[in-house]
A = this chain, B = another copy of it.
């Protein structure tokens, strides 16, 4: 290593690198708007070679992936070799719109407020012209609207009103929707519904301190709870590579996926075993279920349209994150070609995870109890009204558990008080209609379970034996087994969830059998929040968000096949469907024992209710990637127990038992401190016989 530390090839671009790319592009192409300047991920073959031999293999180059909009609206994809820096590719796109930037979002409201057509609609709604400063809009991408196509960059302004600048605007939706031309920076149309719904006159119910205090104030009966690590944390971070409890991986971050985890390996008693080359949430869609115009346009593909990175919150110690926390910043370009940093975009910490394993022998109450720990890599992003808290949780037993918590505020539309919503939504506040919707996330899994030779994906179902009750094969009728179905081609890979068979998917390395069970080493995808796409086949959402058509698709790995709804998502028509359907092709490609990518769509269906409003208590969902037949035995027996006694020790009066209670836990209403976790209760608090 020389005097300057080189970035890891997976590292996001540094401020200096972003600046270098911007500089060379500006020189060559003038005063363009920068929608994207991000790491062009190294080619897998090069990267795999370098990871195996970092001292000798060629170090993958640092390349910037750039997307700009030139004055006049021309959209360009570019690549910049940062060594020069030199532009190595520059191409004009036709009929594609790149990701919306935060600056584009901020612009729209000002223009909306000044538009004469909007001012007139506000007047009709009951808002006088002098109150236009109280009118707000959430400027979504238009999604897709067949009247306008995709050659002109458009946004739809979801309209709201705040009686007071601090009010929650979602209590006062307006019923019309202006369409905004981002190139001309003007309103080109307004969708006006047949039924008019004037501004609600209902007094607000806000969640800020002044409002809560006016309603009687905060509850005062919560005693503090503190989480501390007086000897520091158990994880080590070298740049962006983290090691903890046999885990090692690189923490990346991109403008659209947010957290990206690369090169996840597990140290199994000294052997570093690969698990996943790359894991991320690669896309998402939030389709709304009201068929009335223009609500079909509400199906945000928040990651491809706005970016989980771009929308990332700056996290706060003691607020978003509690305990001993490590943060990583995120760096992005600004639209104007400047630089911006989101401080503390990612937080890292560990948590006690309760009992890891326990067993007592009923004969003599010899016992072992061991507590577990988990590591959490977390970010939060705000997509206009909603918040998504994304936590990648790593357990000591080899399980990876991504969790998403939904919070923030429901999308709302206006309604006449007690209007019949026809089942498409719910009145969550007087005059406020929260439409039915789904939150569907696409987990992109590029495994290399136990090596690079190849993996195969199986569907795994729990099946009762076919043999009837009373037959010789199944006399008592209790027989059941695990049916595994190989997904041999991309066509066969299109599979759905089956609750009745407790369906899971197994990612196997068919070249490596577990020496004990003789089954191929594998990781299982155990996912129980798999609602299936409710918009029907042939619908606009089904076309644009094709990844959501099935719970699982599997493709053969190819560089740059990252985003399953396509590279440039705003205003795609879905004809043809971009991304995943192109990679699936005619379905005949073999995906057996090769480098595969598993795309899993999961999430939940939301029928709103008043308890979700005006801000929603967090609703969590998670799934597991868990090792099965991967280890030759329990991989956490060497985690220090809190207490362990054997039969011979119990027989000798508990002489020699291992007693390592934390010494900090205490009785809630007693004065004694923890002391020996078991001595204070008798030997394991053994049953007292009277």
Q: How far is the CB of A251 from chain B (nearest CB, A)?
A: 14
Query: In the complex, are the beta carbons of B540 and A476 less than 8 A apart?
Result: yes
The answer on a CB contact under 8 Å between B340 and A358 is no
In Å, the complex CA distance between A338 and B690 comes to 7
Q: Can you list 15 A-B pairs, Cβ within 8 angstroms, ordered by A?
A: A208-B368, A222-B245, A233-B668, A290-B479, A295-B478, A316-B369, A316-B677, A316-B684, A317-B674, A324-B665, A339-B689, A464-B534, A476-B539, A519-B609, A610-B629
Question: Which of A81-89, A149-157, A637-645 lies at the interface with chain B?
Answer: A637-645
Looking at A245, A290, A688, the one whose CB has the most chain B CB atoms below 10 A away is A688
With A316-B661, A319-B643 already in contact, 16 other A-B pairs whose C-beta atoms are closer than 8 Å: A216-B638, A291-B479, A293-B475, A314-B365, A317-B680, A325-B666, A326-B669, A338-B689, A357-B407, A358-B407, A397-B617, A464-B536, A477-B540, A610-B632, A611-B633, A617-B635
Whether a CB of chain B sits under 8 angstroms from the CB of A280 is no
From known contacts A225-B352, A227-B226, A427-B517, infer whether A638 and B219 are also in contact, taking CB-CB under 8 Å: yes
Interfacial residues of chain A within 539-580, with CB under 8 A of chain B in the complex: 539-542
A270 to chain B, nearest CB (A): 9
A23 cross-chain contacts in B, Cβ below 8 A: none
Interface residues of A in 319-348 (CB under 8 A from B): 319-327, 334, 338-344, 348
Select A477's contact among B228, B230, B539, B605, beta carbons within 8 Å: B539
Across the interface, name the chain B residue whose C-beta is closest to A642.
B319
B315 touches A685 (CB 8 A): yes
- Contacts A324-B668, A380-B358 given: A228-B229 contact, CB under 8 Å? no
A430 within 8 A of B: yes
Instruction: List residues of chain B with CB within 8 A of the CB of A604.
Output: 502
**Quick one: which of B368, B424, B426, B469 contacts A538, CB cutoff 8 A?**
B469
The one of B228, B349, B516 in contact with A428, judged by C-beta atoms closer than 8 angstroms, is: B516
Is the beta-carbon distance between A424 and B616 smaller than 8 angstroms?
Answer: no
Chain B residues near A235 (CB-CB < 8 A): 668
Interface residues of A in 517-546 (CB under 8 A from B): 517-519, 528-532, 534-542
Interface set, chain A 231-263, CB cutoff 8 A to B: 231-235, 237, 245
Q: Which of B324, B355, B496, B540 is A478 in contact with, Cβ under 8 Å?
A: B540
Q: Contacts A208-B646, A234-B223, A341-B687 hold; do A615 and B359 have CB atoms under 8 A apart?
A: yes
Measured CB to CB, the closest approach of chain B to A178, in angstroms, equals 17
Beta-carbon contact of B228 and A226 below 8 Å: yes
Known A223-B229, A355-B389, A607-B482: A343·B682 in contact at CB below 8 Å: yes
Selecting from A70-78, A102-110, A442-450, the interface stretch reads A102-110
B615 engages A637 (CB within 8 Å): yes
Q: Is the CB of A360 within 8 A of B387?
A: yes
- Give the distance to chain B from A246, nearest Cβ to Cβ, in Å: 8
Would you call B685 and A314 a contact (CB within 8 A)? Answer: yes
How far is B519's CA from A568's CA once the two chains are assembled, in angstroms?
42
Distance in angstroms from A482 CB to nearest chain B CB is 5
CA A497 to CA B498, docked complex, whole Å: 10
Question: Is A296's CB under 8 angstroms from B476's CB?
Answer: yes
Contact with B along A488-520 (1 / 0, CB 8 A): 000000001111101000000000001011110
Query: Which residues of B are found within 8 Å of A317, using beta-carbon distances?
Result: 661, 665-667, 674-675, 677, 680-681
Chain B contacts for A387, CB-based, 8 A: 358-360
Q: Please, what's the 1-or-0 string for A620-640, where 1 marks a CB less than 8 Å from any CB in chain B? A: 000000011111111111111
A538-B469, A667-B325, A690-B340 given; A360·B229 CB < 8 A: no
- Inter-subunit contact B617/A357 (CB<8 Å): yes
CB of A418 closer than 8 Å to a CB of B: yes
Q: Does A27 contact B (CB under 8 A)?
A: no
Contact A102 B480 (CB under 8 A): no
Chain A count of residues within 8 A CB distance of the other chain: 215
Contact check, B436 vs A481: say whether CB atoms are below 8 A apart: yes
Minimum distance in angstroms from A512 CB to a CB of chain B: 13
Whether A640 contacts B314 by the Cβ 8 Å rule is: no
- Interface positions, chain A 359-387, Cβ under 8 Å from B, are 359-360, 362-363, 365-369, 371-373, 380, 382, 384-385, 387
A2 at the B interface (CB under 8 A): no
Q: Is A398 an interface residue (CB 8 A)?
A: yes
- When distances are taken between beta carbons in the complex, the residues of chain B under 8 Å from A688 are 340-341, 343
Query: Cβ of A1 < 8 Å from any Cβ of B?
Result: no
Asked if A190 is at the interface of the complex by the 8 Å CB criterion, the answer is: no
Does chain B have a CB within 8 A of A318? yes
Question: Are A218 and B681 touching (Cβ within 8 A)?
Answer: no
Smallest beta-carbon distance A439→chain B, Å: 12
Chain B contacts for A687, CB-based, 8 A:
314, 340-342
On whether the beta carbons of B664 and A228 are closer than 8 Å, the reply is yes
Are A326 and B690 in contact, with the CB atoms below 8 A? no
A678 at the interface (CB under 8 A from B): yes
Chain B contacts for A627, CB-based, 8 A: 611
Residue in contact with A667 in the complex, picked from B105, B326, B499, CB distance below 8 Å: B326
Residues on the B chain within 8 Å of A205, using CB? 633
Q: Which of B344, B538, B665 contacts A325 (CB 8 A)?
A: B665
Closest 3 CB pairs of A and B: A477-B539, A499-B499, A314-B685
Q: Does A612 contact B (CB under 8 A)?
A: yes
Q: What are the interface flags for A439-480 relative to B under an 8 Å C-beta threshold, 1 for contact and 0 otherwise?
A: 000000000000000000000001111011110011111111
A109 touches B363 (CB 8 A): yes
Q: Which residue of B lies closest to A345 (CB)?
A: B685
Pairwise interchain contact B611-A628, C-beta atoms closer than 8 A:
yes
* A311 neighbours in B (Cβ, 8 Å): 362
Question: Is A121 in contact with chain B by the CB < 8 A criterion?
Answer: no
By the criterion CB–CB under 8 Å, are B615 and A629 in contact?
A: no
- From known contacts A316-B678, A318-B665, A430-B516, infer whether A363 and B479 are also in contact, taking CB-CB under 8 Å: no
Tell me the nearest residue of chain B to A162, going by C-beta: B647
Point out the residues of chain B lying under 8 angstroms from A532, CB to CB: 499-500, 502
Q: Which residues of B contact A613 (CB under 8 A)?
A: 633-634
A15 at interface (Cβ–Cβ under 8 A)? yes
At the interface, yes or no: A648 with Cβ under 8 Å from chain B?
Answer: yes
Q: How far is the CA of A429 from the CA of B677 in the complex (A)?
A: 33
- A207 and B368: CB pair below 8 A? yes
